[in-house]
Amino acid sequence: MLTRIDHIGIACRDLDATVEFYRATYGFEVFHTEVNEEQGVREAMLKINDTSDGGSSYLQLLEPTREDSAVGKWLAKNGEGVHHIAFGTADVDTDAADIRDKGVRVLYDEPRRGSMGSRITFLHPKDCHGVLTELVTSAPVESPEH
C-alpha cells in the first residue's frame, strides 16, 4: 500500500547552484548527498518533513554525471524541472507486482538500490498519464549523512 509522497525528483544541470536556490529561497537544507553510478546521477536529498508512517518527504535534486544516463537524456530533451514523483511503500516488491497486474508497465524486473539505501522501481510514464512514477521502500534512517 502506498503511504506517502516519498519525494519529487527534479532534474538540474548544476546541483550545487540548485541546492543553493532551494536553501536560500525556501530554507531547505541538504539531508543526504550521493553519487549513484548505476543511474549516472549526483544527487542531493532535501528533507521537507517527517510523515506519520515513520518516513519522510524530500525533494531529490538530480544532476546527470553522464549524457547517456536516463536523467541526462531527459534533461537534454526537456530541460530542467520535475522529472518524477515517488510514492513510499513498506513493500516495493508486492506493490509493484500488484500494479503490474493492473496493466501498468513496471520498468525493472527486480527493484534496484536507490537513494540512501532504499529499494526502488519505476512505472512507465505512458501508463501513468505522462508521469514517471517511482515506488520506494526506504531503508531505516539513523542520522543524516553528507
Catalytic sites, residue numbers:
7, 43, 60, 84, 134
Pairwise CA distance, residues 6 & 55, whole Å: 8
Beta bridge partners of 86: 7, 134
**20 exposure class (CB count in 10 Å sphere: 0-12, 13-18, 19+):** exposed
33 vs 15, 62, 91, 97, CA distance in Å?
10, 10, 24, 30
**Farthest-apart Cα atoms in the chain, separation:** 44
Helix (H) or strand (E) holding 17: helix 15-26
